[in-house]
Every structure is written in structure tokens, then in C-alpha cells.
Amino acid sequence: MSDAGGAGGRAGDAGEPPADPIAVLGAGTMGAGIAQLACLAGARTLLHDPVAEALDRGLQAVPRNLRRGAERGRWSEPEAEAAAARLEPAPSLEDLAPAELVIEAAPESLELKRELFGRLSELVGPECVLATNTSSLPVTAIASATKRPERVVGMHFFNPAPLMRLLEVVAGADSSRAALDRARAVGEAMGKHVIEATDGPGFLVNRCNRPFGLEALRLLAEGIADVPTIDRICRMGGGFRMGPFELMDLVGVDVGLEVSKSFYELSFGEPRWRPSLITQRMVDAGRHGRKTGRGYYDYGDGPHRPDDPEPPAVGGGDGIVVIVGAGTLVEELLAAAGAAGWDARGLEDAGSGPVELVVDCTLGGYEEGFPEGPEVLLCDHASLASIAGPESQAVGFHTLPPLDESRLVELTRRSHSAPEAAAAAERFFASLGKHVEWVGDAPGLVLGRIVCQVINESAFALGEGVGSAADIDAGMVLGLNHPRGPLAWADQIDIAHVLNVLQGLHLEYEEERYRTAPALSRLLHEGRMGRLDGAGFHDYGSAG
């Protein structure tokens, strides 16, 4: 189950009140949360759990949480009282027979869910929609146990259900349009932003987010950076609320391992989804995350990590910097360098004298005509070791647009990179208001590699018809608190830059894990290079 926190909308703010009654099967934390949403949306709500004590806890939790919501101003006290009055206990499964929609929130067991749905299909009316809240099991496999699989859909709520704004409505192989429309209408009446997905591993949101953790684990395994550094880069460089290892600890390392195994098995061994041996070792050691007090971090007394520092003040540039190349990042670097006080120039205006720093963002640099001075090379299409010539003393860097929203730039070096180049690069980026983090050498370094792999997985999902570009972007922001949607971010970065990182990884590692999604490559062939050109995954009307 996705568990990234966030703030949702008030139930009933969108859509018409749903037809009732709505039944919720399962009275645990998720089931009680869904029942609360149904009550607030104006529906008579039947709550069932086969365990009497669990049902009692759920029946107590819903009105208690409604009162707390009123105290916090999310709705009025009369609204809370009216919503609580709509909740009814359903001690037996047969008590759900009058429902027009049943939302199942039982444990993640395919055998259990198939048994429940088979029994439900015998009890409810022929027009009743049966919805599963599963986050990892195939909706189609659950539906096949029923008399009317066309009436079965997925309704994947994100945890905590009353707060998270997103709902994924998932179409199984036989799900009818009418059933999907009813699920959407109910979700909208609950105040959710509804996206639609086709049945498959992880549906839309959890699938597109797979590389966020898996690529971080790969970076850790290769020694590119350690756990705190990878997380800090993602927070400060990418704007993520928490880094991938913090998120794994929050969800549960053991839960993450089982999800990884499920993805890999359901896909018949897709290389992009191969589980990490590091995760298995963590589970074997009992380091399951926050719930056990220890995962990738220790959760004893005090915070598990220090607060991220504020960015340095912008300014202090003194002298000439030459920024070579073209594209969104180059334009942003030129503007930022000028604002920091540097005499920022392109290669054509560099002159022949020495400069403070040459920032080379080309695909391999120039052998002639470069001004004299320390160099820092953009490591997007290849590692520094592959770009720099044998005599080069340059250091490498990587960062992603939008540069003005980033607080950190990554640097890398070889054994014979000049100390003068390292110092010049540190000074330059600090003057732009950025912290620097030294990491190991690889195409895209840390953030570029993680983000471009998330973009790539999202492009695979788009090309395979799992969901639309708008739904992918909305799902990642509202369901997982990403700083921006991955496809919109690709458009902002520049499609060529994203492709450079992915193709650099594929060339360097020679693994199918890094093959480029056809939907991403087609944008290049169609000249849809992103926001700067007016079109990429999305259309922007005019360039800029």
C-alpha cells in the first residue's frame, strides 16, 4: 500500500452524492478511512469485518475521526454528526446484499480476495459494482472468481485514505465502462482526484515510482553514494519530501521487498524491476524500517538525520565563466551565473584570455578553440571517465532543471582531476546559491539517474496504454508527493537531456534495465523536445 503522507480534499466537495448504500468490507485503518469518506459523501454506509473486535474498533474509529476533523475545521460539527449517523454495522457478509457498491479493504491475499468476491457476487444485486482496494494484486484475477467480472473494478485509495487526494480506478480485463464510471463518480463525490489505470503490476502510480527506490539501491550497491547522501541529493537537488531510503523505511523494508518480488514475478522477469540483494539482506537482518526501530536509518532517541542546511547566498561571482552548449540547462546556467555577478559568456564570446571556469555541456567537448581555465563537464550522456580525455584534469557535474528550484549540484572527479578545477567548480555553484555534493562517477550521477529512470518507466506505462500523461503526472504528485509529474518534468528538463542520460546508462552498463521507452524516443523523432519548444509529452501552445 502506498504510504507517503499528504493532504487531501474534503469529501463531498466534488461530484454528486453517490447512490447508496455503499458497503466497505474490512474495518481496519484503510477500511475505516474509506467508510469515513463514504459517510461524508452522503451515502448510507455499511461496514463489515469478519472479526467482531475489528468491526467494533472500526465503528468507533469513524465517528472519532469525524469529530477530530470538525475540531480541526475540515468540516462542521453538524456535518460530522450527520456523517456519523450514516454509518451502520454489517455483522455478516449477507448484510451487504443491499449495497450498490462494495469496496473491499481486506488483507493483500489473492486467495482471500477471490473467496470474498466469489461469495459477494452471489449475495449482491446484478448491478452492484464490486471494487477492490488492492495495491498490488491483479484486478482481473480477483474478478475471475465472480459471476459478473464486468462489474469488478479496482479502487486503489492511498494511505491515509481520508487525507490523500488521489484515487486510482483500475480496469480489469472485463471491467465495463458503466462499472468504471460508477467508481469514478463515487471517488469524485468523496472529494478525490480520480485517475484511471489499466490492470497490471502496480497499476499506474506504484509502477511509475518503481525506479525511485530500485535505482537508489543500485547506486548504493555501486558505491556511487551512501544512503544519507542519496537521500539528501533527492531532497535538496530534486525537491522530494523525503529520499528513497527514508521512504523505504516508512513503508517497511519487508513490505517493499515483497512488492519488488511481486513486480518481478508478474512481469516474467522484467530487468527494470529486478529486486535488490541489499533489500533481502536488510530483511534477513530484521531491519524493517521505522516499525522495528531500525532500517536504513536508526530510529532511537532524536531525529534519524540532521535538518538540511539552508542554501548559500547568491552572489560573489567575479570574473569570466564560459558556458558551452545548448538547451534548457545551458540557458538556466547562463542566467543564474549573470545574476550571481559573473561575466557569463558563450563559447563564441569567450575571447582568448584565461577564464575562471569553463562549464562544458556539450557531447564531448571541443579539442580546439577552448579558452584556458579549469573545466567542469556535464555528465549526462556518459560518465566523466568516458567524456574526459586521458590528459584532461576536469571535474564533472550534473543537475536538473528547473535550476532555480534546486538547492544542490552534484560533482564528481577522477584521480587526476585538478584540485584547481574542483575548487573553481565549488565556488561557482556556491555563488549560484547551491550546495555541492561529491559523488562517484556515472552517467547522470545520482539525481539525474533516478529521475530519468522514473521518467523512462512513466513513458513505458504511457506507451503501453496503462494511463494517460495527465493521469501519470497527477498520480505521482497527489499519490506520492513528488515535486512535479515525471512527464511534465521531462518536458522541463528537455527531452534530449533525458535521453542522453538513459542512453549513456545503456551504453555504459549494456543492460536491458536501461533501455529507452519507445514513447520517449518518438518525441525526439517528432521534434517534440519539451517545454522550451512548445511540445513534449504535453502541449504548451507556444514555446517558452
Residue 153 maps to a domain = yes
Residue 257 maps to a domain = no
Kindly report the CATH number assigned to the domain that includes residue 361.
3.40.50.720
Q: Are 116 and 134 within 8 A, CB to CB?
A: no
Catalytic residue flag (residue 206): yes
Cell of residue 128, nine digits: 452492484
- Within 72-209, where are the H helices? 77-85, 110-123, 139-143, 177-189, 205-208
Which of 206, 260, 276, 417 is catalytic? The answer is 206
Q: Which domain holds residue 38?
A: 22-199
Residue 141 maps to a domain = yes
Which of 65, 133, 135, 136 is catalytic? The answer is 135
Catalytic residue flag (residue 168): yes
Residue 14 maps to a domain = no
Q: What share of the chain is helix, strand, coil (3-state, %, to 5)?
A: 45, 15, 40
Could you give the CA distance from residue 307 to residue 492 in angstroms, rounded to a whole number? 28
Which of 156, 381, 435, 497 is catalytic? The answer is 156
Residue 206 maps to a domain = no
Give the model's pLDDT for residue 389. 83
3-state secondary structure 265-281: HHCCCCHHHCCCHHHHH
**pTM listed for this prediction:** 0.93
Residue 483 maps to a domain = no
Which of 79, 100, 104, 168 is catalytic? The answer is 168
User: At 102, is the secondary structure helix, strand, or coil?
Assistant: strand
Give the model's pLDDT for residue 542. 59
Of 199, 225, 248, which residue constitutes the final position of a domain?
A: 199
Of 401, 433, 465, which residue constitutes the final position of a domain?
A: 433
Q: Classify residue 438 as left (phi > 0), alpha (psi -120 to 50) or beta.
A: beta
For residues 174 and 27, state if they share a domain: yes
Overall number of domains in the chain: 2
Q: Which helix (H) or strand (E) holds 316?
A: none
Residue 421 maps to a domain = yes
Catalytic residue flag (residue 416): no
Q: Are 48 and 27 within 8 A, CB to CB?
A: yes
Of 398, 433, 468, which residue constitutes the final position of a domain?
A: 433
CA distances from 531 to 484, 494, 495, 537, 540 (A): 14, 7, 9, 9, 7
Give the model's pLDDT for residue 532. 87
User: At 254, is the secondary structure helix, strand, or coil?
Assistant: helix
Give the model's pLDDT for residue 544. 44
Catalytic residue flag (residue 310): no
User: At 122, is the secondary structure helix, strand, or coil?
Assistant: helix
Give the model's pLDDT for residue 2. 39
Residue 297 maps to a domain = no
Q: Are 333 and 404 within 8 A, CB to CB?
A: no
| Residue-by-residue pLDDT tens, the chain, 544 positions | 333 333 344 554 444 555 679 999 999 999 999 999 999 999 999 999 999 999 999 999 999 999 999 999 999 999 999 999 999 999 999 999 999 999 999 999 999 999 999 999 999 999 999 999 999 899 999 999 999 999 999 999 999 999 999 999 999 999 999 999 999 999 999 999 999 999 999 999 999 999 999 999 999 999 999 999 999 999 999 999 999 999 999 999 999 999 999 999 999 999 999 999 999 999 999 999 999 999 999 999 889 999 999 999 999 999 999 999 999 999 999 999 999 999 999 988 877 678 999 999 997 655 556 788 899 999 999 999 999 888 899 999 999 999 999 999 999 999 999 999 999 999 999 999 999 999 999 999 999 999 999 999 999 999 999 999 999 999 999 999 999 999 999 999 999 999 999 999 999 999 999 999 999 999 999 999 999 889 999 999 854 4
Give the model's pLDDT for residue 12. 47
